[in-house]
Chains A and B, each alone.
Chain A
């Protein structure tokens, strides 16, 4: 067999196929696998939430939805990759609040307005968590101790991200002062807090098992009401701080994705999030299903973008 001839034949075949794809793209979306960019590592919180979601979305769309973990630079690598992808509906972008924070912190040049919102999927309330080596039994103990020695209680956090913003809001509301130590990601934070190398950290209900085993202490939860998962943990509102802080995760598509495609995705998403299997897997992760369709999600994004900007300004981290 002549390799060159084969190659030419294959090339011609490829070109023909390519042209037909473009022509057919509008008519019957989706007709090939869809790539969903998750800007964090596989097995992380975000990945764990979007994997079951992708499975449900795939059932609704009738084409595989493949998760592509594009990691690096605090989630900015994935954001850039998604922004630069063709706006044909075959690349989706799984996002959470970090997009606002990294933009205002000057880490990233990607803004949420570089994308078309598709739908909001889930919300995970933050829980203030203490090391077993600390003496506090409740928020009152902690607040008293913190007032006695300002700037000495250590908090493990990813600086400039959600795990930093959340304790910073508590600082502001209660007038205490913490000392921040950089621990990026939930797993290293858990190592540090179990070993007593930091006193406090932001975690979520996925750590319930460790709390029940006496390895960790939940101090307070940042949801509207107490959760049935951990009914003994008070909300920050009960403790007199007007803080509700949830990490919200949704799906977006590159700017100028055709309206028909977006509508199809919005419909599929609405159906996917209502599947009982999805709700069950979210519950196992201490997360609530929080659906908003594309119109509502767009409004919501505008609101939380303003909120995040204000918080960053308060913390003196605003770079834009």
Chain B
């Protein structure tokens, strides 16, 4: 395995792969730093560029975006007090006060180095666990996959902040979108209302790009008319800092670093929870374990270390799930999965065996991306401050153009572009109506697979009890039931406290 990894590293340091990885990392850092541009949006923008590349080039670029994005957000979080990307939410709690307190360099570099170490811990997990997990996955028949998908949906619908019922409706809408078109077994038309446009079904990536890109850009445009946030400090802050001292600060808290990374990994492995939850949860844990919780909020290093190490470790965890089971953990890995499909690569149990070069290439890209991320932030931290102020009027049209190309180039037809537009409108309306988007996307991703595995199970054996009596399948269903039960219990407990407060769109 070590030699495979070494091979992967040797492969990835060729210019052919290093360049896309570097460009991806730069794009990620910039996208992450731009407030209102999420990692999801950045990876959507990068997507069309990967069509003409070879698979590893494309995936290297996307890995770079993912890793770079998780770090880029912290620069904006520390200097402007706005999370550049949702996964940097908790970083603002400590990073901004610390920067305001005259230590912007320390705040940023604590974050960067914590991201670096957290990411590497996540990487070790990724490399050690994916293979064994993939072997177990081969024992997964249609019953187990069906139950696994049910568990994934139960967890995500239950996690929806607004309400469990809205989570269920959003999931159902996602599943419904995959039902429209033709049935997956015999291509019987369903709900096409005689239209050839609907009859072809709605391909997953244009729907995803539409929902996320429009929801994001249009929400940003809406905020444009609102009064501007207080800008950065007038004079460029000095970011000079003693790196060894900062690294020492992090490594002298090994328990905090490991625990936050573990939180990030676990959240990454669980489908569709995402980096923002990892960041907040790890921050919360750090506060609970701290000997001086009352200091939190005034710029303590522990908060930054927890938030940033966990959101980068989260990336490693998500990559495990996508590679071993073919289930994307969040919208970012969903796009990566889509990119693999375009290149004809099926992820899942056989991915490690059939495409081991690619798998180890991704591992290598993941590790190297962390080194590049540090270098990129090093070189352009100050320059980033200028980019952060790019006007939305310029950003929005360019991003939209790339989204349209992405939707078109998927299938080389205008169909994809029309689907993009349609779901852009639908996504925006749903966000306005307060529906969470994460369950919808998971439903959309898993819909086809849930149906086909259900039908396969029935076709293989007409005994429906097999879903419960097969041990893995039964265990997964039990976990799903527990998860829903917990969510309902929590919901009831909180119900009295629920205020009518509007929640932000849930990315």
What residues of chain A have their CB less than 8 Å away from a CB belonging to chain B?
A: 35, 37, 41-44, 47-48, 68-74, 76-77, 80-81, 102, 105, 107, 154, 159-160, 179-185, 187-188, 190-192, 194-195, 197-198
Which residues of A sit under 8 angstroms from B187, Cβ to Cβ?
Answer: 73-74, 76, 102, 105, 107, 160
Q: Is the CB of B138 within 8 A of A72?
A: no
Chain B, interface residues (CB within 8 Å), range: 20 to 34
Q: Which residues of B contact A181 (CB under 8 A)?
A: 456, 459-460
Q: In the complex the two chains form, is A188's CB within 8 Å of B185's CB?
A: no
The answer to whether A197 touches B412 (Cβ under 8 A) is no
Q: Which of A76, A102, A154, A188 contacts B346 (CB 8 A)?
A: A188
Give bound CA distance, A24 to B201, whole Å: 38
Name A215's closest neighbour in chain B (CB-CB): B353
Chain B residues whose C-beta falls within 8 Å of the C-beta of A72 in the assembled complex? 181, 200-201, 203, 411
Other-chain residue from B196, B201, B342, B460 in contact with A42 (beta carbon distance below 8 A): B342
- Beyond A72-B411, A73-B187, A194-B138, list 14 extra A-B contacts (CB 8 Å): A48-B344, A73-B181, A74-B182, A77-B415, A102-B187, A105-B186, A105-B187, A160-B187, A180-B459, A181-B459, A183-B456, A195-B138, A195-B139, A195-B141
Chain B residues near A188 (CB-CB < 8 A): 346
The residue that B186 contacts in the complex, of A80, A154, A159, A191, with Cβ under 8 A, is: A159
Q: Cβ of B341: which chain A residues have Cβ within 8 Å of it? A: 41
- With A and B bound together, what is the CA distance between A109 and B206 in angstroms? 25
- Asked whether B141 lies within 8 Å of A184 as measured between CB atoms, the reply is no
Interface set of B (CB-CB < 8 Å, partner A): 138-142, 181-182, 184-187, 196, 199-201, 203, 341-346, 348-350, 411-413, 415, 452, 455-456, 459-460
Q: Taking the nearest CB of chain B, how far is it from the CB of A152, in angstroms?
A: 10
Closest B residue to A158 by CB, please name it: B185
Please judge, given known A-B contacts A74-B187, A160-B186, whether A69 and B350 are in contact too, CB under 8 Å: no
Minimum CB distance partner of A213 in chain B: B353
B138 pairs with A191, CB closer than 8 A: yes
Tell me the minimal C-beta distance from A92 to chain B in angstroms. Answer: 13
Given A72-B200, A72-B201, A159-B185, are A41 and B412 also a contact pair (CB < 8 Å)? no
Contact of B344 among A44, A107, A190 (CB under 8 A): A44
| Shortest beta-carbon distance from B304 to chain A in Å | 42
Q: Name the residue of chain B whose CB is nearest to the CB of A44.
A: B344
Cβ contact of B452, chosen from A80, A81, A182, cutoff 8 A = A182
Chain A's closest residue to B182 (CB) is A73
Q: Which residues of A contact B346 (CB under 8 A)?
A: 185, 187-188, 191
Q: Are B460 and A198 in contact (CB under 8 A)?
A: yes
- Nearest chain A residue, comparing its CB with the CB of B409: A68
CA distance A35 to B344 in the complex (A): 19
A191, B135: Cα distance in complex, Å: 11
Residue in A37, A43, A180, A191 whose CB lies within 8 Å of B343: A43
Closest to B140 in A: A195
Chain A residues with CB below 8 A from B185, complex form: 159, 182
Those 6 A-B pairs whose CB atoms lie nearest each other, nearest first = A43-B344, A68-B412, A197-B141, A187-B346, A107-B187, A181-B459
- Closest residue of chain B to A199 (Cβ to Cβ) is B460
Q: If A42-B343, A181-B460 touch, does A70 touch B412 (CB 8 Å cutoff)?
A: yes
Bound CA–CA A187/B348 (angstroms): 10
Residue of A nearest to B52 (CB): A66
A197 contacts B186, C-beta separation under 8 Å: no
Find out whether the CB atom of A191 lies under 8 angstroms from the CB atom of B349. Answer: yes
> What residue in chain A is nearest B188 (Cβ atoms)?
A107
CA distance A76 to B181 in the complex (A): 12
- Interface contact A182-B459, CB-CB below 8 Å: yes
Q: Which residues of A contact B139 (CB under 8 A)?
A: 195
A273 to chain B, nearest CB (A): 23
Known: A41-B344, A73-B199, A73-B201. A195 touches B349 (CB 8 A): yes
